[in-house]
DNA sequence: TAACTGTATGTGTTAATGCTCATATGTGTG
DNA sequence: CACACATATGAGCATTAACACATACAGTTA
C-alpha cells in the first residue's frame, strides 16, 4: 500500500483542476495574472488571443473559482483570490526544470 | 508585473504535464502507484479498467517519464521514478481540501 | 436616448483524445 | 516447439473541448 491513498472523489477533483490547467492559453492567462488584478482588455493584448477566446477561458477559470471578477466602471478586472495556487505552479515549474537535467 | 513570469515555453511544458494528470483514470493509476513497483495486472485489478485501457494510459505516463517500466519475468512492473511528484500531488490535494471550506 | 466601448454568451465546426476490438509481441513452461 | 499468460499496439469510433462568428448585455458619455 502507498502511504497516501486517494479516494475516487479526490482523484476526480484533482483531475478537474488539472484539466483547467492543461490548456496552454488558459494556463498562460492564469500564470501571468500573478497577484495583480487586470482588466480583460489587458489580458487580451498581453496574450494576443481573441476577445472571445479570452472570455471563454476566463469563464472556465471563474466558474472553478480560480479567478475572481470585479467590476470597475465599464471594465471587469480579474484577480487570483489565492496566492497558494501560484506557489504550487511555481513548485511544479521548478520540478520540471530539475527533472530535465537528470 | 507579477513576481514570477512564465515564458511561453514554460507554460507549454507545464500544460503538457497537467494534460497528463487531467485524465481521471490515468491520475488514479499514478496516485495509487505510490512509491511501490507494481505489475500491470495489479493495476488492472485495482482500477477495474480494461487491460487495453491501462496499457494505453501507462504508455502515456511512460513516454512522459512519469513512470518507469521494469521487466521481471513475464511481468512488467511500473514504478514512479521520482517521489517529488507525489508530494506535489499531495500538496495540491490539500489545497483543494482547504479551499472547499472557504 | 443614442452611440460607443468593454465583456459575455450561444451555436457550429474542427481537432484532439479516451476507449474498445482485434491482434501482435514477449516470456516462462510442458 | 506448442501453449498459456502478461503486456503492447494499431485502427476505428465516440466524445469532448477549443476556437471563431455573430450577437447580446452592461456601463459610460454625449
Find the mean pLDDT for residues A21-33: 95
pLDDT given at position A25: 97
Please indicate, yes or no, if residue A2 is contained in any of the structural domains.
no
Q: Report yes or no on A1 lying in a domain.
A: no
Chain B 33-92 contacts with nucleic strand D (CB below 7 A): 39-41, 44, 51-52, 54-56, 58-59, 69, 74-76
Q: Where in the sequence is the domain holding B62, given as residue range(s)?
A: 9-100
Torsion sign over Cα A93, B20, B27, B11: positive
In this structure, what CATH number is given to the domain that contains residue B15? 1.10.10.10
Residue B3 lies in a domain: no
C-beta separation of B34 from A3 below 8 A: yes
Which cell numbers hold the place of A18?
Answer: 488539472
Using the beta-carbon criterion (under 8 Å), do A21 and B14 form an inter-chain contact? yes
Q: Tell me which chain B residues have a C-beta less than 8 angstroms from the C-beta of A1.
A: 34, 36
Q: Say if CB A15 and CB B24 are below 8 A apart.
A: yes
- Give pLDDT tens digits for B47-99: 999 999 999 999 999 999 999 999 999 999 999 999 999 999 999 999 999 99
Q: What is the pLDDT of residue A69?
A: 97
Please give the helix or strand (H or E) that residue B15 lies within, else none.
Answer: helix B8-21
For A28, counting Cβ atoms within 10 Å of its Cβ (0-12 exposed, 13-18 middle, 19+ buried), the class is buried
Asked whether residue B30 is assigned to any structural domain, the reply reads yes
* Residue range A37-48: mean pLDDT, rounded: 96
Structure confidence at residue A4 (pLDDT): 66
**Å separating the CA of residue A74 from the C1' of nucleotide C18:** 42
Rounded Cα–Cα distance for residues A91 and A95 (Å): 6
User: How many Cα atoms occupy the beta-carbon half-sphere of A58 within 13 Å?
Assistant: 25
- Put simply, the answer to whether A27 touches B15 (Cβ < 8 Å) is yes
Mean per-residue pLDDT, B6-12 = 92
Name the pLDDT band for B4 (thresholds 50, 70, 90): low
Return the DSSP state at A66.
S
Considering the domain boundaries, does residue B1 fall inside one? no
Read off the pLDDT band of A3 (50, 70, 90): low
How many domains in chain B? 1
Q: Is the pLDDT of residue A2 over 70?
A: no
- Judged against a pLDDT cut of 50, whether residue A43 lies above it is answered with yes
Average pLDDT value for residue range A1-23: 87
Which residues 3-42 of A interface with strand C at a CB distance below 7 A?
Answer: 39-41
| Cβ contact B6–A33 (<8 Å) | no
Q: Is the CB of A38 under 7 A from strand D?
A: no
pLDDT averaged over every residue in chain A: 93
Amino acid at each position: 500500500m502507498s502511504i497516501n491513498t486517494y479516494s475516487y472523489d479526490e482523484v476526480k477533483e484533482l483531475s478537474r483542476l488539472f484539466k483547467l490547467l492543461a490548456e496552454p492559453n488558459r494556463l498562460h492567462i492564469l500564470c501571468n495574472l500573478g497577484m495583480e488584478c487586470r482588466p480583460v482588455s489587458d489580458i487580451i493584448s498581453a496574450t494576443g488571443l481573441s476577445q472571445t477566446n479570452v472570455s471563454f477561458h476566463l469563464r472556465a477559470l471563474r466558474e472553478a473559482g480560480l479567478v475572481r471578477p470585479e467590476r470597475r466602471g465599464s471594465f471587469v478586472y480579474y484577480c487570483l483570490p489565492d496566492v497558494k495556487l501560484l506557489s504550487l505552479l511555481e513548485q511544479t515549474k521548478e520540478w520540471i526544470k530539475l527533472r530535465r537535467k537528470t
